Chain A
Amino acid sequence: MASPQRHDLKRYPGFGAVTWACIVLLYAPMLVIMIYSFNELRSITTWGGFSFAWYLKALNNPQLHSATFNSVVVALVAATLGTILALCAALAMTRGRQLKHQSASFALLNLPLMVPEIVTAIGSLVFFLAIGIQLGLSTIIIAHTVFCIPFAYLPIAARLQGLEGYFEEAARDLYATRWETFRYVTLPLTMPGIISGYMLAFIVSLDDFIITNMVAGPGATTLPMAIYGMVRTGFTPEINAISTMMLLVSALFVSASYLISRRGASS
């Protein structure tokens, strides 16, 4: 008797194996680093028993405290500003007929995604120095806000495009002013897009190293900069512990955004 799989026309031998290899490639390094973060020994190779020692060390490192604080502040401010700018732009681009310069505006909004990060990084550095803005947290925030815009824009615009104009017309028909229409209809219906855009912007800001490193100036250190510094000076298990914690934060974020987008899709 032929197995049913032999008749499955869609099936290609080996594709399943490649998929599993892909998953292993993506996850193995992260899993290994997680496991070794609990290694008692300073040695990176031999296992000396389970311990939280490196976590304690990382959590008590004052430099990491300020770096984390900086990173979170930058990400909160940049993601918030970027999302607000992106929301306004997305409303303008999607609510109504084509604007006169619609495609040029779209290209400009997405420009931060097209320009290689290293180019943006040195461009920002040169620019800030040329116009005499003191490098520091503020320059990081400005640069992050700009490249957060397209990350927030794309999910918001996608949501707004899927939102038929007749909901807003129905609200206007039922005596809602423009503001009330936005407040009670457009905004709540766009919320899933806004939240995923905000989270994307937040993570992208938290993640950035190249641009941050260029425009940070001497005083302001963010978490990726601190980790980079530690890696450059020598690999210690403390890095494993920090990495694991950051991995968990990211995983938390993805799960949350996944749940939110699923809830958004079902409503």
Chain B
Amino acid sequence: METQALRRDAVGIDQVVKVYGEGASAVTALKGVSLSIADNEFFTLLGPSGCGKTTLLRIIAGFEQVSGGRVFLFGEEIEQLPPNRRPVNTVFQHYALFPHMTVEENIAFGLRRLKRSDTEVKKRVGEMMEIVRLSGFAGRRPGQLSGGQQQRVALARALAPQPKILLLDEPLSALDLKLRQQMRLELKQIQENTGITFIFVTHDQEEALAMSDRIAVMSQGEVQQLGTAEDVYERPSNRFVADFIGDTNLIEATVLGEDGPDRRRCRTAQGLELTASGSGDPGQMVHLSIRPERISLVAGIGGSGTPCTIDRIIYLGTNRQVLVRLADGAPLTLLVPNTSGSTLEPGSAATISVAPGAARQLRD
């Protein structure tokens, strides 16, 4: 990555390696990660637990030293800066609210350390409590708040000193579903209003898709794909990303021939013929991903589709997940809208057809 490019970014991460421990017990948490995060961006690190998200965040915050590579903040290399000298604040995974201080004292903590005047601290704390809608709770201790309220205090405390960059480590994971969905919106709004760069860590793909400007999908200490929500969902670059983000059918197929630039006619092992985006010479084995909602289903046999048998129907509310078997018994998962008067029955015959462009070839 160009050092020149890194200088323009809010955060530049260049070939960062992190090894915990020594000798036989050494764990490599990051294996050469490079990222550039623009100013004012809502950037998400998404990946399964243990893939190194927290480690990367802690390196940016200054709690861990890199084993290799460089980290830049607005073009400055920050290796030598202790956490208290970085214009970065963190919303910790378990909030880390100071239990011996009130809500007000917690929020004021950073401002006091920055030696802001009493009037300014007071004003700013009031503003923050209003933003996170906790105005009546100034004198409470963290132990007297609900999980959602604690989460908002943690957010207010980290925002109060007006950092250039806010790091959020799975801040919503401890909340229940309704609250989580509501907080997604609020977080996004706060990010847009303040213009602070958010680096948001989550293992919840839905969360990542809903909020992020860009997402870095991580696995085992490496960035697997970097792109917008649409990029990573519609155009997963490899099997891991396709599998991790959303549900998908992973199918092996053989390339039959060209069907336009970057389009190939393929036949799956089950004899399903379709056009997939990708490359390859005829006869080559490839992996395809087909999203369940991109396969349509009609009851009964007929038309141009492929016949199948309905195995099981799972009711999901808005949608129904339908598990079908093709003629040779190979399974496939479909997602169909839950329209009323549907005549689908387990055991009955049906016909599926794959929308053009739905199948994508994947790298390993």
Residues in chain A within 8 A of chain B (CB atoms): 164, 166-167, 169-177, 180, 184-185, 188-189, 267
Contacts and interface: CB of A to CB of B under 8 A. Distances in A.
Contact of B83 (A167, A169, A184, A185): A169
Residue of B61, B96, B143 with highest tally of chain A CB at under 10 A: B96
Contacts of B84: 172-177
A177 B62 CA distance: 13
Contact of B63 (A169, A184, A189): A169
Interface in B31-87: 61-63, 82-85
Give the one of A173, A184, A267 with max B CB within 10 A. A173
Given A167-B98, A176-B84, 7 more contacts: A170-B96, A172-B62, A173-B63, A173-B84, A175-B110, A188-B100, A189-B99
Contacts of B92: 166, 169-170
Given A166-B92, A267-B143, A171 B100 contact: no
Given A169-B63, A169-B83, A267-B143, A174 B157 contact: yes
Nearest to B105: A184
A172 B109 contact: no
Nearest to A174: B110
Contacts of B143: 267
Interface in B93-120: 94, 96-100, 109-110, 113-114
Contacts of A177: 84, 113
B212 interface: no
Nearest to A189: B100
B89 interface: yes
Q: Give the dominant DSSP class at A's interface.
A: helix
Nearest to B83: A172
B100 A175 contact: no
The CB with the most chain A CB atoms within 10 A, among B62, B83, B88, is that of B83
Contact of A166 (B83, B96, B109, B157): B96
Contacts of A176: 84, 109, 113
Contact of A174 (B62, B99, B113): B113
Contacts of B292: none
B263 interface: no
Contacts of A189: 98-100
A180 B83 CA distance: 13
A167 B89 contact: no
Contacts of B158: 173-174
A222 B157 CA distance: 53
A267 B141 contact: yes
Contacts of B89: 173-174
B351 interface: no
A104 to B, nearest CB: 20
A170 B94 contact: no
29 contacts: A164-B94, A167-B98, A169-B63, A172-B83, A172-B84, A173-B61, A173-B63, A173-B84, A173-B89, A174-B110, A174-B113, A174-B157, A174-B161, A175-B84, A175-B85, A175-B110, A175-B113, A175-B114, A175-B161, A176-B113, A180-B113, A184-B109, A185-B98, A189-B98, A189-B100, A267-B99, A267-B100, A267-B141, A267-B143
B90 A170 contact: yes
A71 to B, nearest CB: 34
A176 B85 CA distance: 9
Contacts of A175: 84-85, 110, 113-114, 161
A189 B110 CA distance: 18
Contacts of A180: 113
Interface string B110-147: 10011000000000000000000000000001010000
A177 B110 CA distance: 11
Nearest to B58: A169
Nearest to B87: A175
Nearest to A266: B143
Contacts of B82: 172
Contacts of B114: 175
Max chain A C-beta neighbours (<10 A), residue from B84, B88, B94: B84
A167 B143 CA distance: 14
Contact of A171 (B85, B94, B109, B161): B109
A173 B100 contact: no
Contacts of A267: 99-100, 141, 143
A189 B161 CA distance: 24
The residue in A169, A175, A176, A188 that gathers the most chain B C-beta atoms within 10 A of its C-beta is A175
A171 B61 CA distance: 12
A174 B87 CA distance: 9
A36 B32 CA distance: 80
A169 B82 CA distance: 11
Nearest to A172: B83
A167 B84 CA distance: 14
Contacts of A172: 62-63, 82-84
